[in-house]
């Protein structure tokens, strides 16, 4: 004689809720958000936010390129980047203020021209916007120098050396000039992050008070 088992819909729902709750407790969900566009809530745990670069560590101030001085010290320098698609990669600065006419007769100009080490691509499609960072010398911290905006993925390979095959390359904009033009600062330290958040809170409070004042009816 077999014994039948009867489950009510409420039993199934309770079991399902329990399984989903247990799953949520055992897993962590990560959401990438740009703090420049999304405001952090006042109760957000800022201890989980860091200014260090994954796989590289803490970085120094932005490397400002002096256009009135020789750039020989920049050409040949090693750089790194951490991108969405290709992760941590290494490269060499091959040129600055580079102008090139492609096979279609289209001329383009880039501040930084970077080639990946050991014939590997420095960036892949989807890495645009990644920081280009100069490796540190004499115990100094690595310094941001540029931002990736294109390269082999959208322009094809580039013939850089006579007698050699075309190479993978990456173009980047001069970060120092960009920040100066937009009147922005790059946050590279925990203290700088805390100061920026405090300024953001003051600005939000001032905006709220201003809106409240506009909504009040004038006294008669």
What digits encode the pLDDT tens for the residues 167-204? Answer: 778 999 999 999 999 998 888 888 888 888 788 788 88
Cα(16)–Cα(52) distance, rounded to whole angstroms?
Answer: 40
Cα(152)–Cα(125) distance, rounded to whole angstroms?
Answer: 9
Q: What is the CATH number of the domain that holds 140?
A: 2.40.10.10
Q: What is the pTM of this model?
A: 0.69
pLDDT band for position 34 (50/70/90)?
low
Domain annotation covers residue 160: yes
Domain annotation covers residue 94: yes
Domain annotation covers residue 109: yes
Note the pLDDT tens digit of each residue in 59-69. Answer: 999 999 988 88
Cα(127)–Cα(143) distance, rounded to whole angstroms?
Answer: 19
Half-sphere exposure of 22 (CA within 13 A, CB side): 6
The count of structural domains within the chain is 1
What range does the domain containing 175 cover? 78-182
Domain annotation covers residue 56: no
Helix %, strand %, coil % of the chain (to 5) = 30, 25, 50
Domain annotation covers residue 169: yes
């Amino acid at each position: 004689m077999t014994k039948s088992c009867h489950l009510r819909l409420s039993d199934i729902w309770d079991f399902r809720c329990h399984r989903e709750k247990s799953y949520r407790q055992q897993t962590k969900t990560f959401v990438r958000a740009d703090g420049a566009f999304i405001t952090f809530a006042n109760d957000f745990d800022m201890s989980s936010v860091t200014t260090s670069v994954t796989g590289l560590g803490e970085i120094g101030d932005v490397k400002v390129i002096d256009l009135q001085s020789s750039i020989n010290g920049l050409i040949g320098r090693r750089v790194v980047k951490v991108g969405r698609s290709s992760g941590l990669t290494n490269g060499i600065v091959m040129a600055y203020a580079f102008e090139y006419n492609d096979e279609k007769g289209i001329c383009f100009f880039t501040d930084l021209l970077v080639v990946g080490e050991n014939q590997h691509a420095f960036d892949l499609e989807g890495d645009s916007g990644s920081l280009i960072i100069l490796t540190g010398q004499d115990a100094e911290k690595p310094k941001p120098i540029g931002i990736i905006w294109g390269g082999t993925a959208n322009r094809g390979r580039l013939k850089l050396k006579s007698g050699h095959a075309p190479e993978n390359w990456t173009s980047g904009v001069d970060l120092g000039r960009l920040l100066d033009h937009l009147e922005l600062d790059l946050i590279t330290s925990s203290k700088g992050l805390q100061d920026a958040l405090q300024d953001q809170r003051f600005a939000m409070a001032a905006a709220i008070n201003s809106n409240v004042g506009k909504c009040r009816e004038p006294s008669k």
